[in-house]
Amino acid sequence: MSHPLLMIPGPVELSAAVCAAAAEPPLSHTSPPFIARFAGALRAMRTLWRVGLEHQPFIVAGSGTLAMEMAVANTLEPGQRAIVADTGYFSRRMAEILARRSVSVQRVGGRLLEGGMPAVSPQALIEAIERADGPVHAVFITHVDTSTGVRCDVRALAAAVRAVSSEVIIVVDGVCSVGGEVLDQEGWDLDVVLTASQKALSAPPGLALLVASPRVFAARERLTVPPPLLFDLLSWLPVHQSYEKGRPAYFATPATSLVSALHTSLEEIISEGIDLAVARHARSAEAMRRAWSVLGLRLVAEQESCAANTLSALWLPEGVDGTFPAKVAARGVTVAGGLHPELLLKGPYLRVGHLGWVTSQPERLLHTVRAVGDALIDSGTPVDPDAAVAAASAVLNLS
């Protein structure tokens, strides 16, 4: 491989076609080829998010945090109340964004248990809604929190919320899930599902993506304190509607090279089929978990049933310190260290991404397993990397 293998939970490895699209000379945002790509990307989002024409996809230059800000600024105003299902660092970021808009925020969950970090249960969420001091306007769920590798059961959480209210806005941070986990925005009645280009969609970093339901536009129309102009969905709506119909429009210059790369990556996913792409993530995750178990690495997630398919967050063994990712990097593979301050108080941990296009490249997954195994030996932990690679290969049907 000509570059270090990028196995952090985003940005991720890209296909050659996506790299080539990103490297083309930039297009004018009003040129027919760009209009076709922008429109194609928006249409592909409807397929991947599983929404029809009543929902509106948006692609805006920025990172996932911009999409989080937009979700908050367009649905809530100061003094309203929201609940955040807390499964890690990114749930807490959402709570911080809400607090800065002077929304009254309550976090549910987020406590590390003896067995690891749990997902938030539907019962806990409903109790929080029922015990709140007044009406709850919105619920925020991080589908996969990238700091803990914990996946919430969004379908069950949304169903529980809908059983008590058809009005509450449900926002899902899908930054580490869209394209890699089962998700059905319209079927599960979710109002915002947001992500970023650099994760399971396998495009370069730099684009914030979200799909908004009709409930979001109704909430936006009711706001007495409008969002900043750049964050306002109503600034972007006519532009997106126009591009999807094949006509250029202007509010702020789109990131034409990134949109071209995103269009290529979304077309790759659509041509494979979203169900197959998600199944590929499940199989890769299973292979990696088998390998981690052989290497004696324990998941941060409390149970395997709430462990994400897009990354593994793993406690490092006794005696191995936070310099471990550098030891893996010395073997040509870039992995990430821990991120959640409360978890880091307990000890160093490791995060390995297995999301996006790279999950169609089994040899890169196995190379990652070997690099982690060899680095453990380097750190004085006697493990058997061959056995770990064999365990992963068996799941990937390579042995």
Residues contributing to the site for ligand PMP (CB under 6 A): 10, 63-65, 90, 142, 145-146, 173, 175-176, 196
Closest distance between ligand PMP and the C-beta of residue 355, in Å?
10
- Torsion of Cα atoms, 47 then 51 then 57 then 62, to 10°: -70
Residues 173 and 93: their CA atoms lie apart, in Å, by 11
CB of 236 to ligand PMP, least distance (A): 18
Smallest separation, CB 323 to ligand PMP (Å):
22
Identify the sign of the CA torsion 36, 40, 41, 43.
positive
Residue type, 100: R
Q: Minimum distance from CB of 308 to ligand PMP (Å)?
A: 10
Closer residue to ligand PMP (CB): 294 or 313: 313
Q: How far apart are CA 87 and CA 92, in angstroms?
A: 8
141 vs 169 by CB, closer to ligand PMP: 141
Give the residue with the Cβ less far from ligand PMP, 196 or 372.
196
CA distance 43 to 348: 42
* Closest residue to ligand PMP in the complex (CB): 64
Separation CA 180–CA 186 (nearest Å):
17
Q: What is the C-alpha to C-alpha distance for residues 67 and 61, in angstroms, rounded to an integer?
A: 10
Tokens of 32: 């027919």
Burial class (CB in 10 A: 0-12, 13-18, 19+), 158: buried
DSSP bridge partners of 141: 85, 172
Q: Per-residue DSSP letters for 279-316?
A: HHHHHHHHHHHHHHHHTTPEESBSSGGGB-SSEEEEEP
Tell me the torsion sign for CA atoms 173, 175, 179, 182: negative
Whichever of 129 and 209 has its CB closer to ligand PMP, that residue is 209
Give the nearest distance from C-beta 147 to ligand PMP in angstroms: 8
Question: Whole-number minimum distance, CB 75 to ligand PMP, in Å?
Answer: 17
Amino acid making up residue 82: A
Closer CB to ligand PMP, residue 352 or residue 395? 352
What is d(CA 248, CA 241) in angstroms, rounded to the nearest whole number?
10
Burial 359-394 (b: 16+ CB within 10 A, else e): bbebebbbbbbbbbbbbbeebebebebeebbbbbbe
d(C-alpha 169, C-alpha 181), whole Å: 22
How far apart are CB 335 and ligand PMP at their closest, in Å? 14
Q: How far is the CB of 152 from ligand PMP (least distance, A)?
A: 11
CB closer to ligand PMP out of 74 and 142: 142
Q: For residue 271, give the amino acid letter.
A: S
Q: Between residues 83 and 207, which has the closer beta carbon with respect to ligand PMP?
A: 207
Nearer to ligand PMP, 17 or 61 (CB): 61
Instruction: For residue 26, say if its preceding peptide bond is cis, omega within 30 degrees of 0.
Output: no
Q: Which is nearer to ligand PMP, 336 or 388 (CB)?
A: 336
Q: How far is the CB of 21 from ligand PMP (least distance, A)?
A: 20
Cβ 63 to ligand PMP shortest distance, Å = 3
Minimum CB distance to ligand PMP smaller for 180 or for 385: 180
